[in-house]
Amino acid sequence: MAADDRADKTLLIQNELGLHARAATKFVQLASKFPCEINVLKGTNEVNGKSILSLLTLMAPKGTTISIKARGERSEEAVAALAALVDDKFGEGK
């Protein structure tokens, strides 16, 4: 396997509304641009990061710690991009 075939990162949800519909929409839109498999974990719960319904049912309000796990082509790039989105509070400013 190439070096960038897998990547993981743990993040804190910081925006006021948490991983709500609009934030999840942005997350899925971005995740879908990458060929790799992307999963999001909260505790022992692991869901598909390209599925908006899965992300919504994960229930991650402000202050939740989540992990992003990517497997396959361009994994590192995908995780870096998604982490930037989360850290930017999904562009919501608060």
Partner 1 sequence: MTEIRHEVRRQGLGVSAGIAFGRAYLIGRDTLKAPRHHIEPDDVDTETARLYKAIASSDKQLAKIKEKLASENESDYHIITAHQMMLHDEHLVGAAVGYIRDELINAEWGLRRAVDDIAGLFDRMEDVYLRERRSDVEFVFERVLRSLLGRETGPVQPPPDAIVVAYDLSPADTAQLHKAAIAGLITDAGGKTSHTAIIARAHEIPAVVGLETITEIVETDDLLLIDGGSGMVIVNPTAATVAEFRDEQRRQVAAGAALHSMRDLPANTLDGTEIALYCNIDGHDEIDTALAYGAMGVGLYRTEYLFMGQAEPPNEERHYQTALEVLKRLAGRPATIRTFDLGADKLAPFLEAAELEEANPALGLRSIRLCLSQLGRPLFRVQLRGLLRASAHGPLKIMFPMISGVAELRATKVFVDEVKLELRQEGIAFDEDVKLGIMIEMPSAALSADFLAEECDFFSIGTNDLIQYTMAVDRVNEYVSYLYEPLHPALMRLIGDIARSAAVTKIPVTVCGEMAGEPMIAPVLIGLGIRELSMSAVSVAEVKAMIRATTLGEAEALVQRLKKLPTAAEVRAMVAEYVFGLTAQQRKGRV
Q: Is 20 a catalytic residue?
A: yes
Contact flag: residue 50 with partner 1 (CB under 8 A): yes
Q: Which range of residues in 5-13, 35-43, 57-65, 74-82 is near partner 1 by CB under 8 A?
A: 57-65
End-to-end CA distance of the chain: 40
Rg (CA), the chain: 12
Contact flag: residue 48 with partner 1 (CB under 8 A): yes
Q: Are 40 and 66 in contact (CB under 8 A)?
A: yes
Longest dimension (CA), the chain: 40
Catalytic residue among 9, 20, 62, 89: 20
Residues that bind partner 1 in the complex, under the rule CB under 8 A: 17-18, 20-22, 24-25, 28-29, 48, 50-54, 56-57, 59, 61
Task: Please give the positions annotated as active site.
Answer: 20
